Structures are given as C-alpha cells and as structure tokens.
C-alpha cells in the first residue's frame, strides 16, 4: 500500500546559500523608484 509521507516545510535556513562573491541580481531597470508616494 502507498501512504502519504509527511514532509517538513522548507524554512529560511534550508535555502541554498548564495556563493561568496556572487553579486545580487540587479534591480529591474524600469520603472524607477517612487520618490514621494504611490498613486
């Protein structure tokens, strides 16, 4: 018989660490940041 096995949810600590020296992805080029408030 096949039974469903419980799987623990992934936590923040389980994520694969970014290699040292690897630059974070650049922000999307556009649209730019909101300078005052969102309308």
When asked if residue 27 is in the footprint of other proteins (CB under 8 A), the reply is: yes
Q: Does 31 bind other proteins (CB under 8 A)?
A: yes
Closer by beta carbon to other proteins, 19 or else 26: 26
Residue 31 to residues 7, 12, 25, 35, Cα–Cα distance (Å): 40, 29, 16, 12
Q: Is 39 in the site for other proteins (CB under 8 A)?
A: yes
Degrees to nearest 5, angle at CA 30 with 20 and 15: 30
# of chain residues touching other proteins (CB under 8 A): 12
Q: Which residues bind other proteins (CB under 8 A)?
A: 26-27, 29-37, 39
């Amino acid at each position: 018989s096949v039974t469903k096995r419980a799987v623990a949810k992934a936590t923040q600590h389980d994520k694969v660490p970014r290699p040292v020296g690897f630059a974070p992805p650049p922000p999307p080029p556009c649209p730019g940041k909101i300078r005052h408030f969102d309308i």
